[in-house]
């Protein structure tokens, strides 16, 4: 089955060549790469043109608009996807050679084409400055349902995903304001379809100063210090507002159970501590199935950024 690889670029000339070469090394070769540059001022476009001339599977998507930013650039790329499956690709990661093969094989066995389905895998965090792996995993939280997902301040890591055309079509039609493309794709899958996880590291996720979605923690101490940092909050305002816009767009299409659950999430930052604790406990909210961290966060942190 053909796969569309969707790569958004912007001033990535330092890293882009290595990522493109890792795509050439994929054991699964039935893919088309669509690249949309967002107005780079370095040599990114020159590298893209070079690789377009080398392989007919690489397509340069025309850009006649002002700079969109990474999230809208990726969502714009979805308009080019016509294959059964699609994947996002960052410009600066390095994929292991069996990444596509493993994800496509999984999707063929598990996906239901009548609904939006998504599978994501793990990866190693790779330090750009040190040249070594600094974390064995970049996917620490995994939700089985909406109840376990809503309190994520993110979606799943975009370039770790493979998803079906049903999900592509939903995301292309999405018109409400949003913060990150992978948040919206993850939310569609949890709300209306299925999400799967392959617990294998299938790429090097590069960590450097210009990471759009931030860096991963290097150690348990980093995680603990981050958890108890001063002025911490439970909900990121940008992600909360993004989820609120999604609710306004699709509340009529949600099941009664999901709509009720979603509404409890939305009132969470607006009520007292006592009521926030009630929302978490009565409705069984968790962060990826872990209830205690959400309870502790509710007790110790501001409700919203």
Q: Residue 210 pLDDT > 70, yes or no?
A: no
* Average pLDDT score over residue span 4-15: 96
Quick check: 118 and 163 in contact, CB under 8 A? yes
Quick check: 160 and 202 in contact, CB under 8 A? yes
Number of domains in the chain: 1
Q: Residue 31's pLDDT is what?
A: 98
* Residue 260 belongs to some domain of the structure: yes
- CA angle in degrees (0–180, nearest 5) for 151-71-13: 130
* Residue 87 belongs to some domain of the structure: no
* Residue 249 belongs to some domain of the structure: yes
Report the relative pairing of strands 31-37 and 3-9 from DSSP bridges: parallel
* Residue 254 belongs to some domain of the structure: yes
Q: Residue 226's pLDDT is what?
A: 61
* Average pLDDT score over residue span 50-57: 96
Between CA 9 and CA 92 the distance in angstroms is 9
* Average pLDDT score over residue span 131-144: 88
Tallying the residues shown for the chain, one arrives at: 305
Q: How far is CA 69 from the centre of its chain?
A: 15
294: containing domain: 220-304
- pTM higher than 0.75: yes
Kindly give the residue spans of alpha helices, DSSP state H, lying in 81-150.
Answer: 99-110, 146-149
Tokens at 97, concatenated: 């050679």
**More reliable by pLDDT, 215 or 110:** 110
Q: Residue 272 pLDDT > 70, yes or no?
A: yes
* Residue 286 belongs to some domain of the structure: yes
End-to-end CA distance of the chain: 43
pLDDT band at 130 (very low <50, low <70, confident <90, very high): confident
Q: Residue 62's pLDDT is what?
A: 87
Q: Residue 225's pLDDT is what?
A: 61
Q: Residue 212 pLDDT > 60, yes or no?
A: no
pLDDT band at 129 (very low <50, low <70, confident <90, very high): confident
* Residue 110 belongs to some domain of the structure: no
* Residue 233 belongs to some domain of the structure: yes
* Residue 257 belongs to some domain of the structure: yes
Mean pLDDT for all residues in the chain: 92
């Amino acid at each position: 089955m053909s796969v569309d690889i969707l790569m958004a670029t912007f001033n990535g000339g330092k890293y882009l060549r290595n990522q493109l070469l890792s795509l050439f090394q994929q054991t699964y070769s039935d893919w088309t790469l669509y690249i949309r540059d967002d107005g780079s001022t370095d040599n990114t476009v020159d590298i893209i043109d070079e690789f377009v001339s080398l392989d007919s599977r690489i397509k340069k998507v025309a850009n006649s608009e002002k700079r969109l930013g990474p999230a809208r650039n990726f969502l714009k790329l979805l308009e080019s996807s016509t294959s059964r499956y699609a994947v996002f690709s960052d410009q600066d990661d390095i994929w292991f050679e069996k990444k596509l093969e493993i994800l496509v094989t999984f999707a063929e066995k598990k996906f239901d084409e009548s609904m939006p389905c998504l599978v994501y895998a793990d990866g190693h965090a790779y330090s750009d400055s040190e040249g070594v792996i600094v974390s064995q995993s970049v996917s620490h939280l995994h939700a089985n349902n909406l109840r376990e997902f809503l309190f994520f301040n993110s979606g799943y890591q975009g370039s770790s995903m493979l998803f079906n055309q049903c999900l592509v079509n939903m995301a292309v039609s999405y018109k409400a304001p949003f913060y990150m493309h992978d948040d919206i794709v993850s939310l569609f899958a949890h709300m209306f379809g299925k999400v799967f996880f392959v617990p294998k590291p299938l790429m090097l996720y590069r960590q450097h100063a210009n990471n759009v979605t931030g860096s991963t923690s290097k150690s348990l101490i980093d995680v603990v210090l981050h958890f108890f940092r001063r002025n911490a909050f439970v909900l990121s305002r940008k992600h909360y507002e993004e989820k609120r816009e999604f609710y306004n767009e699709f509340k009529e299409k949600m099941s009664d159970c999901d709509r009720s659950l979603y509404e409890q999430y939305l009132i969470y930052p607006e009520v007292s501590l006592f009521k926030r604790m009630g929302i978490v406990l009565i409705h069984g909210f968790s962060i990826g199935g872990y209830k205690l961290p959400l309870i502790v966060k509710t007790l110790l942190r501001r409700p919203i950024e």
